[in-house]
Each structure stands twice: as structure tokens, then as C-alpha cells.
Amino acid sequence: MRPPFDEDIISYLRLSCICRYNVVLLIFAINKNRFSAMVNARDNNGAASQRRRAGRYVRQPAGYSAFMPRDLPPEPPVRIEGQLQRLLSEADLALGRLDGSIQILPNPDLFVFMYIRKEAVFSSQIEGTQSSLQDLLAAEAKILDPKRPRDVVEVLNYVAAMNDGIGHPELPVSIRLIRKIHERLMQGVRGQFLTPGELRITQNWIGPGGCTLNEAVFVPPPPHEIANALGALEKFLHADDGLPILLRIGLAHAQFETIHPFLDGNGRVGRLLITLLLCEKGVLRKPVLYLSHYFKRNRHRYYELLQTTRDDGDWEAWLEFFLQGVSEVSVQAAETARCILALRENHRAAIAENLGRAGGNGHLVLEELFVRPIVSVNEVRDLIGTAYPAANELVQKLVRLGILEEITGWSRHRRFRYSPYLRLFHEEAGD
């Protein structure tokens, strides 16, 4: 039989247990809220740190905000894992195959000649020019055509600037070389009065035509920060820190576009920088990888991801896009190299089989067509050292073989084009 308890004692004990339980719940709730606040603060700090990974916007005395880039490499470091790691491996492999494909060509410089011109056309088109590869080649062949876009001079300058860059292997990729290339690029074209070869001393901005600084999509760093930003970029280019070369080049291109050191021509110089670095670092022995067609085809995504690195610090997304382009363009270029080799052998065989004693001169003309795909009879005459009638007869034989095609329709001053060769580059571009 249970012993009797005083009702007051029982009530007190019950109340005491309930209060202690409530106190425990209260302490748990307080600690939980504190923990949640700590986690949220940590997450917010992490998100802010991620956004500031590429730099930050700083309000200027004039009232607008300019972007101040952080020095490379990014901090926290680029996460080389998952998709990025896979794309890096694929890009390395594709570049290796491209380099090998170029080396088996009898004269790799034949391939370089056309690829520089193709890159010049697409990189300039990104900036709004209308000239085509045919316009460029016709201008180089001095074919007068009143319908040719006037901006073809900009494309010619791009070719000259690239040749200047790759023609000075003794000069490392540096601020000095970049300024030299920019000066050549801007000679005699729109922007020629915007201090070619000189770092800007006024603020520039990116946005729709007619927009103000306050309405701009992006405002690069102010002029007094340019020299320091470029100096840090040059130091990064030549650092020995174990970062994979393709990632270094991808980061460098985006950083150059962010700095925007010139008043005009920044995009073209930045894209030239990719090829120059690939050659300087020994990734390619010949400058045959040009990404401008890939950037042009994916123009919106290209600009979007460059801006995302600035606003969100998402370097990985940009690098994945960049590496995808390296792989795609390398595969296309290697296939074009294979097709060039096959075309050359087929046409050499056709000349040997059909031209008899003129075959030797036919082969001389064929080799010249790879570096000068539009020729005149007078140029053929000078090349093979014969009289005009013999040169004209040789040209007509090459026309009948389907190697040359007359393109002017004129009776005098005719020009002949190596169309089968040029079609390889139009097909590669999807034209």
C-alpha cells in the first residue's frame, strides 16, 4: 500500500520538474539561435569573400563606382576538381594533338599564314567590323573593290600586330610588348587618336552606346591604378607557382579585359595575348590556336562570364568555358591541318599527272598559293621566271584542273583564287 503524501508536496515537485524542463528548453533555444546566427554570419562572410575574390567596386569622387581587381592568382585558389579538372585534361590532350598535326605539315608556316588571317577577321568582327576573310585576302592582293568594307584596314592591322608579336621571340609577354602590339593595331583606324600604345589617363567604361558612367554595365579601374594592375598581371604571367599553364592563360585574359588599360582595342589585344602566351610557354610551337571564332559564336556567354568573375568571383565557370573553347578549336584546327595535307598531296599529284614538263613550275605556284591564295598572271610570271604568255598558259592549266578560279570577271588585271584551300577555312568556321 502506497504511503500517503501531502498534496502540497506533490504539487511542488510537479511544478519544480516542469520549471526545470522549461529552463532546459529555453537554454537550448537560445543556444540554437546563437548557433544559427553564427552559421549565417559565417555563410554571409563566405559569400562576401567569394564575391570579392576577383576584386571590389569602389566609389570614386565623381560619384560612379569603378572595379578594383585583386591580384592573381585568385584567393581562395581555383578549385581544380570535377568538371574543371576534366576539361583541363581534355584541353591539354587536344592541344598536344594539334601541335603534333602542325608538325607533320611540309611547311607549317603555310597553315600559320591563313590562321592568323582567320583570327584577325573574327576578333575584329567581335568589335563590330564587317570585313570577311575574302575581303582581307582581296585587300592584301590589292584588288580594287568600292564595295569592300572600309574597316578592312582594322583587320590588316590585326594581322600586322600579330606578326609583330610572334616576330619578337626575344621579348617576353610584358607590358612593353602589349603596348607595342596596341600601337600597331590602332594605326590609321578608328581609335587612332585615342593614344595608341599608351595606357589610358582617363576613365573608360563598357555599356550600350550613349550610356554614361553611372549607367555603364562595367567600369574598369581608374587610370591611376592601371600601371600597378598591369605590373601585377605581368608578375603573375611569369610566376613559378605550379598553376597549370592553360588556367594561367585563361585567368590572364579575363584579368586583362577587366583592367581595360587602353581607350580602345582592349578586346583584340586581350585575345592576341592568348596565342602569344601559348607560344611563349611552349604549349604550341606555332601560333595556330585562335579562340575568337569560339568567342564570337558564344559572344553573349563570353561577356556574361567575364562579368560574373567580377561580380561573383566565379573564376571556375569562366575557366570551364575557356577550356571548352580550347578543346573545340584545337580539334577543328587539327582536322583542318589534316585536310590541308590531303589537299596539297592531291593537287601535287594532279599537277604531276597533267602538266608534263610544266609540272615543276606548277608545283612552285601551288606552294606559293598556300601563303598567297589570290594571285595574278604577272605574279606567277615573276615567281617562275618566264615570259607572260608561258605564265598565262600555266595559270589556265591550273584553272582547268580546278586548282585556280578567276574571281574578277575582268579581261585585264585578272585575279585567280585558290578556292579549294580557302573553302577549308570557311567550312571550319561553319560558313
Q: Are residues 214 and 362 in the same domain?
A: no
Give how many domains the chain has, as a whole number. 3
Q: Are residues 291 and 369 in the same domain?
A: no
Q: Are residues 69 and 203 in the same domain?
A: yes
Q: Mind listing the pLDDT tens digit for each residue in 293-352?
A: 999 999 999 999 999 999 999 999 999 999 999 999 999 999 988 898 899 999 999 999
Q: What is the DSSP string of 289-326?
A: ---HHHHHHTHHHHHHHHHHHHHH--HHHHHHHHHHHH
pLDDT exceeds 50 at position 79: yes
Residue 343 lies in a domain: no
Q: Are residues 24 and 41 in the same domain?
A: yes
157 or 298: whose pLDDT is higher? 298
Q: Are residues 218 and 328 in the same domain?
A: yes
Amino acid at 176: R
Residue 108 lies in a domain: yes
Q: Mind listing the pLDDT tens digit for each residue in 164-191?
A: 888 776 778 999 999 999 999 888 776 5
What was the pLDDT predicted at 130?
76
Q: Are residues 251 and 360 in the same domain?
A: no
Rounded average pLDDT over 48-62:
86
Paired sense of beta strands 55-59 and 65-69, if any: antiparallel
Q: Are residues 306 and 388 in the same domain?
A: no
Q: Are residues 161 and 306 in the same domain?
A: yes
Rounded average pLDDT over 23-29:
44
Q: What CATH number does the domain containing 190 carry?
A: 1.10.3290.10
Q: At what angle do helices 152-166 and 266-280 cross, to 10 degrees?
A: 30
- Flag the least confident range among 6-10, 36-40, 193-197: 36-40
Q: What CATH number does the domain containing 364 carry?
A: 1.10.10.10
Rounded average pLDDT over 150-158:
82
Q: Mind listing the pLDDT tens digit for each residue in 262-303?
A: 999 999 999 999 999 998 998 988 888 889 999 999 999 999
- Flag the least confident range among 83-97, 109-123, 317-331, 376-390: 109-123
Q: Are residues 277 and 391 in the same domain?
A: no
Cα–chain center distance at 97: 20
377 or 122: whose pLDDT is higher? 377
Please return the burial class of 147, using the count of CB atoms within 10 Å of its CB with bins 0-12, 13-18 and 19+.
exposed
- Flag the least confident range among 117-131, 194-208, 310-324: 117-131
Residue 35 belongs to domain spanning: 20-51
Report yes or no: 415 and 141 within 8 Å, Cβ to Cβ: yes
State yes or no: cis peptide before 149, omega within 30 of 0: no
Give every CB contact of residue 281 below 8 A, 6+ residues apart in sequence. 245, 248, 249
Cell digits for 256?
A: 586583362
Question: Among 51, 70, 97, where does a domain finish?
Answer: 51
Residue 3 lies in a domain: no
